[in-house]
Structure 1
Amino acid sequence: MSGPKVVRVVTREELEATCQRWLLLVGESAADLLRNATRFGLASSALETQLATRRAALKALFHSEQWVDLQKDAAQAIEHFRFEGERLRSEAVAAEAAQRSRQRRTLDAARSIAASLAKAGQPVPVALTAAIEGAMTATGTDLDAMQRTVESSIATLVQGQPKTQSSGQSDLAARLNAGGPIPTFAQWLEENARPDPQAERLDGLLSELSTCATLVDITDLTARALSISAEPSADRRALLTDSLVLEAARRLRDERAIEAATAKAMQVRAELAALSSERGRACSIQLDAAITDRNVSEMRARITDGETMLDEGLRQASAVARRRAVLGGLASLGYEVREGMEAAWAKEGRIVVRRPGTDDYGVELAAPADASRMQARLVGSDQPSSPRNAMRDKDQETIWCGQFDQLRSVLADRGGHVEIERALPAGEQAVKTISLPSASPSAEAKIARPQTRALPRS
């Protein structure tokens, strides 16, 4: 296929910049995982070592220029870190929910035993009353002590049963002390606890809210939950619990939206660090302010601005790198590439290069502003020094095809590659005729090697 070609040029600079962005995203994802693990109290040296090892492996791929493997492994690393973060969150939520459930069960048991003691005419221990008042905020050893108080109160209830009992009290006594040991707190719960689905749902919602990455303040919700638990009426507790569940669910939806926007904003902010521009720095400052203010709409707007800025920067730098790589490659093959050609190509959208001594033919390079696709084709002079005909044009196309293969090899040696998207056989389409200027008398002023330009990177 030695006729006109449409190709996509990928330069080393473009690949390097893309991989740099991947490394930035992996770094932010790893930092987010470590922040969450620390907040949940689940951070460890093993986790830090795992993160460091994964990032070191990706950097090794970068330095060895294994661009494809790096992008694949980076995507997998980000997904792995996200999964680990969700797993740690689930553990933290489960632990928090278990703690709240334990507090609630202790309160319900203490309240039930106190009511039974009062009904049996026995005094309610001060410690049991304290358990009723403090179970929903107790943790650790304090909660353990309250459960032991409930156990001792169960024993008091069983051993102090009056001679005259109601049928219900007799049944309770028979179950608890019919020739056997007094039940433990756990055994009593198993036989007497009545799960409250709404209360359990409330515990779960409050647990999720307390582990949100945005560090939401839920003191008002927990205060209301405590107030509800102190309500003596079961019916009123159920009504208030339903209302609080709705409020907690709404708050959780809002916090999840803030959390998602914050995570994305921090990713974009990390990528903007690679842009050495005033616009990039200004956008980063605006992202910081939106994150601090927990302003979802502002974060989303600045995320859009930042992503547009990043894409524009990458496209512009990639276009420069592509044009420069092609011109530099042609220069190394003996084509006359003068100063200003790169700028002219970018401005006009096309340019013609020739080899010294070949006055009747040249190679036309055409591309849009971003140089995402290039057309390369042989062109002939409208005033040739020797008559042109179809056979001569076809021979020149065949020569150009061989030189194009050499150009591909040159770019490959420099870390890039050329993908042919469409090509026509030699002679299938007439060689385009244009006006070719006279050859420059100072052909020495050419680019022997491609210049380089750093694309956005850290």
Structure 2
Amino acid sequence: MSGPKVVRIVTREEILAICEGHLRRLEQAFERWQAQATRIGEVSAAEVAVTRARHDSLRQLLQDDQLLALQKEVPEEIAFLARDLAEREERAVDKAARVRQSRRNLHDNAATLLRALETATSPADPSLVDALRAIAAGSAHADADAVVARGFAQLAPANPVDTLSDTQRALADALQVEHARPGRWIAEDHAAREPRLDRIDQHIARLQTLHGDASAEPFLRRLEAIERDPADPRRNMLLDSLVVDLAATAADWQARRERIATLRTLAAEAETLLGTSGTELSAQVAACLAAPDPNLAQVEALVQKYTDAIAQELHRRAAIARRRAVLEGLASLGYEVREGMETAWADAGSVVLRKATTPGYGVEVGGRAETGRLQVRPVSLTDTRDPTRDRDIETIWCGEFTRLRSILADRGSELTIEKALAIGEVPLKVIEFDDSDGSEATRSSTRNSS
């Protein structure tokens, strides 16, 4: 079929731009992965080196012209980095939560010991009581575990297995101490006492680990107020409310962090693509991210601006490359390509090329190159022609179009047919030809669109 055609072209330049964009996003993903994993203490120098070496091999794909492999493997690596970082963050959050829970157990155990020591038959060591009181109040103590163990040892008889009374055994259970090893404090066995406190500790640990201590400060004050009065009849309601508010805040912080990361990635990509034309937008981003608490609505607006600006610039570059590739391909087939034809095509929407071996006939190419969809068709340049030649011209163009696709393929571009009419299916289009730049001056009434 070599009547009018609608074709789609993807040029080598366009593919290279896509690959370079993938590599820029990979670099941003790596920097974020390394910075965050290092900050939370969940990555080693060896792991960073291995990851960097893997990325070097991916960048080498561009140099080796392995463009399809690059387009497949780089997005997969970016997705892997995101998953891997999320797993590392979860490990760090779990560690921080366990520290909080262990500290809570120590506080509870110290308080229980204090009450027991007050009723003990023998007086307790005053320094031990003071240390236990400080631990129970939440103060940091370098030897908190040892202090609590001393407290239990002072309560225990010489042979705890044989002589523990029922009351002392109950106390040991409350203190989460193994009878066989009374000096070992089991920090993990605490969930049965107050499951909501576990969830609260997990949320607070998440905020502190991923978003900084300040993000958790209001909730720590609320928790401290609740724990000061364990007999408050509103305790259950206050704890439930705290859990709900913490979960919502953690989700909000996470969404904000992800959008800011997206903005930083787009800004880095635009810096290379837009150059000086993106200076004003870059200044807006810098001002937004310099704020202690960036406005999420402003972040979203800037993300959209960058997305639109990058897409527009990529479309502009792709359109130039597509027009150039088609014109250069037709020039290789012997068609006359003159200076200014690319501009004429962009301005007028189409351009006509002549060939010395087929006088009176030419080829029209047009369409919005920004979309990648073009129209190509043989045309007559005069009404005073022998119509019986039209079919021959279309047959000649059939062979030339096949050669054009081959030429473009050899240069790394791809031309595919989306729609085509058969030879002779519609009359040959007749146009008046502007010889200065190859653009069409007027069109005859026998116009057919594909």
Q: Which TM-score tier does this pair reach, normalised by the shorter chain?
A: 0.7 to 0.9
Matched residue type, 2:148: V
1-side partners of 2:245 and 2:2: how far apart?
Answer: 70
The 3-state SS of whatever aligns with 2:48 is helix
Partner of 1:418: 415
Partner of residue 94, structure 1: 94
Matches within 5 A, 1:399-438: 399-436=396-433
Question: Which residue matches 2:162?
Answer: none
Q: State the shift of 1:137 in Å.
A: 6.2
Distance 1:71 1:193, change over 3 A: closer
**Residues 58-457 of structure 1 mapped to structure 2, 5 A cutoff:** 58-120=58-120, 122-125=122-125, 126-134=127-135, 142=141, 145-159=143-157, 169=167, 172=170, 183-186=182-185, 194-213=192-211, 216-231=214-229, 233=231, 240-293=238-291, 294-368=294-368, 370-384=370-384, 386-389=385-388, 392-436=389-433
Residues 318/181 of structure 1: CA separation in 2 closer, same or farther (3 Å cut): closer
Conserved? CA contact 1:4–1:375, under 8 Å: yes
**Structure 2 counterpart of 1:443:** none
Task: State the SS of the aligned residue for 1:153.
Answer: helix
Matched residue pairs, number? 427
Contact 1:367-1:374 within 8 A present in 2 as well: yes
Change beyond 3 A, Cα 1:414–1:132: farther
The residue identity in structure 2 corresponding to 1:361 is Y
Shift in CA distance, 120/304, structure 1 to aligned 2, threshold 3 Å: same
Q: 1:348–1:128: structure 2 CA closer, same or farther, 3 Å change rule?
A: farther
| CA separation of 1:122 and 1:419: change in aligned 2, threshold 3 A | farther
SS at 1:427 equivalent? coil
User: Aligned to 1:273, what secondary structure does the other structure show?
Assistant: helix
Residue identity in the other structure for 2:16: E
| 2: CA distance, partners of 1:78 / 1:330 | 40
Question: Does 2:46 correspond to 1:49?
Answer: no
Alpha-carbon distance between aligned partners in 2 of 1:370 and 1:90, rounded to the nearest angstrom: 44
For the 8 Å contact 1:150–1:185, the answer to whether it is kept is no
**Worse-matched range after superposition: 263-272 or 230-239:** 230-239
For 2:24 and 2:196, how far apart are their aligned partners in 1? 44
Is the contact between residue 37 and residue 85 of structure 1 (CA under 8 Å) also seen in structure 2? yes
Tell me, yes or no, if the aligned pair for 1:287 and 1:303 is still in contact at 8 Å.
no
Could you tell me how far apart the structure 2 residues matched to 1:371 and 1:189 are?
A: 61
Aligned equivalents of 1:324 and 1:215: distance in 2?
56
Give the Å deviation of 1:280: 1.5
Give 1:288 shift. 2.4
Deviations 1:77-131 (A, max 9, x none): 1110001110100110010011001001111111112112223355454335434
Question: Shift of the alpha carbon at 1:418?
Answer: 0.8
How far apart are residue 240 of structure 1 and its match? 4.7
Answer whether contact 2:105 2:187 (CA < 8 A) is retained: no
Answer whether contact 1:379 1:433 (CA < 8 A) is retained: yes
Give the drift of 1:416.
1.2
CA–CA separation in structure 1 for the residues paired with 2:118 and 2:213: 43
Q: Say which SS state the counterpart of residue 182 (structure 2) adopts.
A: coil
**How has the CA–CA distance of structure 1 residues 393 and 287 changed in structure 2, closer, same or farther, with 3 Å as cutoff?**
same
Report the secondary structure of 1:435's partner residue.
strand
What is the CA distance between 1:229 and its match in structure 2? 4.2
Q: Deviations over 1:239-265 (max 9, x none)?
A: 554443344233213212211211111
Alignment CA distance shift 1:112-1:434 (3 Å): same
Contact 1:268 1:307 (C-alpha < 8 Å) held by counterparts? yes
**Cα deviation digits, residues 24-63 of structure 1 (max 9, x gap):** 1111111111111111112312221232123212211111
How far did 1:187 drift? 5.7
Retained in 2: the 8 A contact 1:128–1:149? no
What RMSD in Å do the two structures reach over aligned CA positions? 3.0
Give SS of 1:212's match.
helix
Partners of 2:187 and 2:259 in 1: CA distance: 47
The question of whether the paired residues in 2 share the 8 Å contact of 1:257 and 1:296 is answered with no
**Contact persistence 1:364–1:377 (CA under 8 A):** yes
Residue 214 to residue 114, structure 1, CA distance change in 2 (3 Å): closer
Query: In structure 2, the residue corresponding to 1:359 is in which secondary structure?
Result: coil
Say which SS state the counterpart of residue 377 (structure 1) adopts: strand
TM-score (norm 1): 0.84
How far apart are 1:230 and its partner, in Å? Answer: 4.6
SS, match of residue 274 in structure 1: helix
| Structure 1: tracts of 5 or more residues without a match | 162-166, 441-458
The CA distance in 1 between the partners of 2:145 and 2:360, in whole Å, is 99
Larger CA deviation: 425-434 vs 259-268: 425-434
Counterparts in 2 of 1:136 and 1:320: CA distance versus 1, 3 Å: farther
Which sections of structure 2, spanning at least 5 residues, go unmatched? Answer: 160-164, 438-450
Contact 2:207–2:250 (Cα < 8 Å) also in 1: yes
Q: Report the Cα offset of residue 169 of structure 1.
A: 2.1
Query: For the Cα contact (< 8 Å) 2:274–2:310, is it kept in 1?
Result: no
Query: In 2, distance between residues paired with 1:189 and 1:399?
Result: 83
Matches for 1:7-18 after TM superposition, within 5 Å: 7-18=7-18
1: CA distance between counterparts of 2:122 and 2:82?
Answer: 56
**Aligned partners of 2:297 and 2:191: how far apart in 1?**
46
The residue matched to 2:65 in structure 1 has which SS?
coil
User: Which position in structure 2 is the counterpart of 1:31?
Assistant: 31
Aligned to 2:442: none
Q: Secondary structure at the residue paired with 2:156?
A: helix
Please say which of residues 338-347 and 243-252 is displaced more in the overlay: 243-252
What SS is found at the alignment partner of 2:8?
strand
TM-score, scaled to structure 2:
0.86
C-alpha distance 173-37 of structure 1, shift in aligned 2 (>3 A): closer
* CA distance in 1 between partners of 2:230 and 2:28 (Å): 50
